[in-house]
Amino acid sequence: MLEFDYPAAPANVAPVIVSTHLAPAKTTAVYDSYWRFAAERQRVFYRRVLDTPWPWTQNRVMAIYKFTNAYRASDRVSQYLIRNVIYRDDLPNSVDEVVFRILLFKLFNKIETWERLERGLGPISFADYRFDRYDEVLTTAMAAGHRVYSAAYIMPPGSSAFGCKAKHQNHLKLLEMMMAHRLPEKLASARSMQKGFELLREYPTIGDFLAYQFVTDVNYSEVTDFSEMDFVIPGPGARDGLRKCFADTGGLSDAELIRLMADRQEQECARLGLEFPSLWGRPLQLIDCQNLFCEVDKYARVAHPEAAGLTGRTRIKQKFAAQAQPIEFWYPPKWGINDRIAAGAVPNEAFEASRPGAANAQDDSA
């Protein structure tokens, strides 16, 4: 069974050291929960792919609260970006056009905003871009009470850099600056993900977290072809998760700890007796392991309330609600997994885990 009870514990109790197999780094109970969470979240993903009836998990925390997928590219917004923004047969696919679309979408990171722009402007094209037209659509939407930005992360307002009163106006000006500086061409010529990150990091309002997210999104396209195992930048949520998983980092940096997770995923799952159903043969990449630390930070607030992070947050804000519109999963063609999806192929461990009553996890109580 995956139905867990989590006893309350004082918030100031230090995490219990349960393993030193990664010496000199020392792990906590949350470290093992990281792998159990990743495996169960991926099993939930496949249960939904296989159209298994709800509930998709017996884990009460995961059943109640919203968590992103184990693989970043499987999340609804990333899937929309890949299928409806990047790979479009009806839009120009030059380097300039593709990068323009990606950055425009990601500055707002909201499907409804993209669709509102398309309804108001027609096909999105850099060749036809005009500030006043885009501004009008977005200003009208906000005047009608619509949010144009996602709540997934906070975009800095940018008024000090661009001088506009409205946040969205500053971000349109930022996009104009990127295009004027021939950023798409520079990204296409970059030889590493780190170089692409550095190019994006140079712009006003773009910090480490956003630059890493944006270069990952550009890399879903054919503009670049970096390995997702090349480079990683931990965000604020990941750093909180890292603090909860490691009582002692053994001198390793946050980025090195994330790489350690990616490198050891098979050994750690085997140690815990977990069958991890990969993404049609694609193992967890650095970006996925980084994101999982963010999710485990949230998960531990309920499953391991004694584990203190950097922010001191104790609640999970978002509750789970199934989306009415199912996703037809499709990934960057260069990953070589879309044919398997189209053929209905599902990893054996995912099929086994989809059976009623199948469970492969242990109690996470600290």
Q: Are residues 278 and 170 in the same domain?
A: no
What local confidence, expressed as pLDDT, does residue 344 receive? 83
Q: Are residues 235 and 344 in the same domain?
A: yes
Which residues have a Cβ under 8 Å from the Cβ of 124 and sit 6 or more positions away?
A: 91, 100, 101, 104, 114, 117, 118
Higher-pLDDT residue of 354, 316: 316
Among the listed residues 282, 96, 64, the one whose alpha carbon sits nearest the alpha carbon of residue 186:
96
Q: Are residues 341 and 308 in the same domain?
A: yes
Q: Looking at the domain assignment, is residue 82 inside a domain?
A: no
Q: Are residues 284 and 191 in the same domain?
A: no
Among the listed residues 364, 355, 360, the one whose alpha carbon sits nearest the alpha carbon of residue 53:
355
What local confidence, expressed as pLDDT, does residue 52 receive? 85
Q: Looking at the domain assignment, is residue 2 inside a domain?
A: no
Each residue's pLDDT tens digit, 37-76: 999 999 999 999 888 887 889 999 999 999 999 999 999 9
Of 166, 189, 218, the last residue of a domain is 218
pLDDT confidence of 364, banded at 50, 70, 90? low
Looking at the structure of the chain, the number of domains it has is 2
C-alpha pair distances (Å), 301 with each of 33, 37, 86, 313, 357:
12, 13, 36, 7, 26
Q: Are residues 246 and 313 in the same domain?
A: yes
Each residue's pLDDT tens digit, 189-219: 999 999 999 999 999 999 999 999 999 999 9
Mean pLDDT, the chain, integer: 89
Q: Are residues 48 and 108 in the same domain?
A: no
Q: Are residues 245 and 160 in the same domain?
A: no
- Rounded CA-CA distance 175/35 in Å is 39
Q: Looking at the domain assignment, is residue 226 inside a domain?
A: no
Instruction: Name the one residue in this structure whose structure tokens are 């990683």.
Output: 232
Task: Tell me if 299 sits within 8 A of 33, measured CB to CB.
Answer: yes
Q: Looking at the domain assignment, is residue 363 inside a domain?
A: no
Q: Looking at the domain assignment, is residue 268 inside a domain?
A: yes
Of 218, 250, 276, the last residue of a domain is 218
Q: What is the mean pLDDT of residues 280-285?
A: 97
Among the listed residues 263, 299, 255, 257, the one whose alpha carbon sits nearest the alpha carbon of residue 283:
263
Alpha helices in the chain (DSSP H): 29-49, 60-64, 76-80, 95-108, 111-121, 131-143, 159-162, 167-180, 183-189, 193-201, 208-218, 236-245, 254-263, 265-271, 286-303, 338-342, 348-353
Q: Are residues 93 and 67 in the same domain?
A: no
- Rounded CA-CA distance 48/133 in Å is 40
pLDDT confidence of 20, banded at 50, 70, 90? low
For residue 208, count other CB atoms closer than 10 A to its CB: 14
Strand partners of residue 319: 65
Q: Looking at the domain assignment, is residue 68 inside a domain?
A: yes
Cα angle, residue 296 at apex, residues 277 and 237 outer, rounded to 5°: 125
- Rounded CA-CA distance 92/99 in Å is 11
Task: Tell me if 108 sits within 8 A of 150, measured CB to CB.
Answer: yes
pLDDT confidence of 23, banded at 50, 70, 90? low
pLDDT confidence of 153, banded at 50, 70, 90? confident
Among the listed residues 248, 219, 214, the one whose alpha carbon sits nearest the alpha carbon of residue 233:
214
Q: Looking at the domain assignment, is residue 7 inside a domain?
A: no
Q: Looking at the domain assignment, is residue 364 inside a domain?
A: no
Q: Are residues 238 and 317 in the same domain?
A: yes
pLDDT for residue 9 is more than 60: no
Q: Which domain holds residue 156?
A: 88-218
Q: Are residues 145 and 203 in the same domain?
A: yes
Q: Are residues 248 and 349 in the same domain?
A: yes
Q: Are residues 244 and 129 in the same domain?
A: no
Of 192, 218, 244, the last residue of a domain is 218
